Amino acid sequence: MKKIKQFYMNLKLQTKLMITHLVIVTLPMIVIGIFFYTSLYDMILSNTIRNEQTASAQTAPLIESTVNNIVNIHDKIQAMEFYQSLCSSSRAISIDALGRCSQAISFRQKVDELINETSITSVKLYLDLPADDELFVVSAFPDIVKPMDSARGTYWHGIFGGDSALSELDCPPFYLSSYERENLGTMAYITKSYVHFDDGIRPCYLAIYYSQDELNQLLLNALASDDSVAYLVNSRDNIAATSDDAMSGAYHFSYSEVQKYFMSSNNFIEKKVMGKEVYAGFYSIQNTDWYMVIALPAKPVIAKCNNLIMMFTLIYVICIIIAFAIATLLSRSITNRLSSVIRQMEHTRVAPPIALPDADTTDELGDLVDSYNYMTRVINRLMEEQAEAADELRIAEFNSLQAQINPHFLYNTMDMINWLSQQNRSLEVTTAVQKLSRFYKLTLSRKESLNTIEDEIEHVSIYVQLQNMRFHNDIDFIIDIPDGILDYSIPKLTFQPVVENSILHGILEKESKQGTIVLTGWLEGEDIVILISDNGVGIPSDQLSMILNGNECSSKKGGTNIAIYNTHKRLQILYGKKYGLKYNSILGCETNVEIRLPAIRPDHET
């Protein structure tokens, strides 16, 4: 009792008010529901099976009528004068002449009328005559009369061939060739006759094609429940038609089983199929070797019973909710304000706290709201100060990285000017100083740390010109940048360290000291991709992995990759980890450097 009391004391205020009413109202109904559950299940099962029996008993005659219509059409065709003459042993004229006479023309017209006016889709007469016989070419109906070669290989032809006593066959889609199913019909009724030709008797087959859809629809209409399945099975244990392909496979009864249970088909039997309880009924289709099988899984019937109970429970719960509405209104004045504070405090787990509306009361809950709002203001102010400190730290780190790059380039450039001066090439020294001045004007002309791609291209072009002055114009620099991306922003000194690396550690390490650098770029979604390629000596795979991780691997010429690493690092500081440099190289052949950054125009910078 102490534990129960403690549990009750720990419940929320509104819950305590609700529990007492809930026990009083629901406990009797739970007892009643358990008592009537078994009886309710039996009632639903009996009603479901009775509905299925009624629907199935109405469907079986409709299927028989459909089959009889096909047989009657077949009998009409066999009774036609042309067909009788064709199969007659006392035929006065040859088959070729018969195919051109008035009987053939009349036969063709009547067959066309049957196709247009009835449910059949096509009629074919397969004759075991030479394929080049005139009957198949110049007769009045070459599209109806076909050589036996066009039927060989079909499953139905094999069945007739394996049973010489077989004279008629109801063919499900499985028996027909793909050509027959696609162009003639998905089912067929085929009979075997004989034709006297020259000195012997040869078989002929009259095939009446029709659509399986009509039978499928009849089987679908036979179902009183969406959870059951109806299908036709023939003596060779093949499905002739079905309301659902998947379910007929899952709840399949073999032909032998159907015959075994047929005597009890008026009452549904209960049987396990593939480990599942199924209620099944069976009906024989006259004038065929078909049985109609109705399979009703037990699980949906149970689910239907459960759904009915749930529906009853739901209605009862609605009544309970209405009954407790008054209790809820009475407790809301206390619990609502307390719940608002709790929800806002839980919200701080995933987002900054948000202040509540000022309290309009001076009770304990009003004091709690005031205290929470004061705490919210203090926390938000501290978070803003922390965010400002983080931004300042990010800018300071960026400026530090950029400061490492500028002296690195200046050292290499001044070394080249010093060398020109030693060679007394004053004009070239003047030119070099002018270009160097322009180079740093582009770098330092504004306080901002960003350039446009167009300015950065000019910047790196000046750098290559300065290097060509030192290395006898042996470096070809090709620029292929679409005009559409020239005005996008890019951090200063992004291209120069990469191009410098391509010259000093790629092209100049070749024996010829000559090479080409190609700079191109494109828009890729919301990103800009710049590709700088050179045909230098390449980079060994063991060094390639260390270029962008901060390790200062040296080249043959001396120096380190600190400028490349800094360029990569500051792109990531500015834009995020998905941006920066990516190296790919084939040793002794080429090196490709991909620079990825977001597509931002200067007027959109933050």
Neighbour-count burial of 24, counting CB atoms closer than 10 A to its CB (0-12 exposed, 13-18 middle, 19+ buried): exposed
3-state SS, one letter per residue, for 555-569: CCCCCCCHHHHHHHH
Instruction: Please check the confidence at residue 511 and state whether its pLDDT lies above 80.
Output: yes
598 neighbors 579 (Cβ within 8 angstroms)? yes
| Among candidate residues 410, 334, 417, 395, the one with its CA nearest the CA of residue 573 | 395
Give the tokens for residue 158: 């094999």
Neighbour-count burial of 527, counting CB atoms closer than 10 A to its CB (0-12 exposed, 13-18 middle, 19+ buried): middle
Q: Rounded to the nearest 5°, which phi and psi values hold at 185?
A: 170, 155
Please give the Cα distance from 492 to 449 (Å, whole number).
6
With a pLDDT cut of 90, the percent of the chain lying above it is 23
Instruction: Please check the confidence at residue 554 and state whether its pLDDT lies above 50.
Output: no
Instruction: Please check the confidence at residue 447 and state whether its pLDDT lies above 50.
Output: yes
Q: How many CA atoms lie within 13 A of 282 on its CB side?
A: 23
End-to-end CA distance of the chain: 65
Give the tokens for residue 234: 């023939």
| Mean pLDDT calculated for residue range 19-36 | 70
Instruction: Please check the confidence at residue 547 and state whether its pLDDT lies above 80.
Output: yes
Stronger pLDDT, 123 or 556, i.e. the higher one: 123
- The pLDDT value recorded for residue 396 is 52
In terms of average pLDDT, the best of 88-97, 147-156, 422-431, 475-484 is 475-484
**Bridge partners of residue 452, in order along the sequence:** 489
Instruction: Please check the confidence at residue 464 and state whether its pLDDT lies above 50.
Output: yes
Instruction: Please check the confidence at residue 127 and state whether its pLDDT lies above 90.
Output: no
| Mean pLDDT calculated for residue range 113-122 | 89
Neighbour-count burial of 404, counting CB atoms closer than 10 A to its CB (0-12 exposed, 13-18 middle, 19+ buried): middle
Q: Rounded to the nearest 5°, which phi and psi values hold at 60?
A: -55, -45
- The pLDDT value recorded for residue 559 is 47
Stronger pLDDT, 54 or 598, i.e. the higher one: 598
- The pLDDT value recorded for residue 188 is 93
Residue ranges of the domains in the chain? Answer: 65-213, 389-604
Query: pLDDT grade, residue 140 (50/70/90)?
Result: low
Query: pLDDT grade, residue 322 (50/70/90)?
Result: confident
| Among candidate residues 268, 292, 266, 298, the one with its CA nearest the CA of residue 280 | 268
- The pLDDT value recorded for residue 397 is 58
The radius of gyration of the chain's CA atoms, rounded to the nearest angstrom, is: 45
- If residue 452 lies in a helix (H) or strand (E), which one and from where to where? strand 450-452
| Mean pLDDT calculated for residue range 513-537 | 94
Query: pLDDT grade, residue 235 (50/70/90)?
Result: confident
With a pLDDT cut of 70, the percent of the chain lying above it is 84
Instruction: Please check the confidence at residue 420 and state whether its pLDDT lies above 60.
Output: yes
3-state helix, strand, coil in the chain (%, to 5): 55, 20, 25
Name the least confident of 323-337, 365-379, 511-525, 533-547.
323-337
- The pLDDT value recorded for residue 284 is 85
| Mean pLDDT calculated for residue range 465-480 | 86
The model's pTM is 0.47
Q: Please say whether the structural domain 389-604 has been given the CATH code 3.30.565.10.
A: yes
Please give the Cα distance from 208 to 124 (Å, whole number).
7
| Mean pLDDT calculated for residue range 331-356 | 73
Cα dist from 413 to 101, 311, 435, whole Å: 105, 86, 11
Instruction: Please check the confidence at residue 338 and state whether its pLDDT lies above 80.
Output: no
Instruction: Please check the confidence at residue 265 and state whether its pLDDT lies above 60.
Output: no
Please give the Cα distance from 255 to 242 (Å, whole number).
15
Neighbours of 34 (CB within 10 A): 9
Q: Is the Cα torsion angle 43, 45, 46, 51 positive or negative in sign?
A: positive
- The pLDDT value recorded for residue 390 is 67
Side chain identity at residue 188, one-letter code: A
Give the residue ranges of DSSP H helices in 200-297.
Answer: 213-221, 245-250, 255-261
Stronger pLDDT, 432 or 76, i.e. the higher one: 76
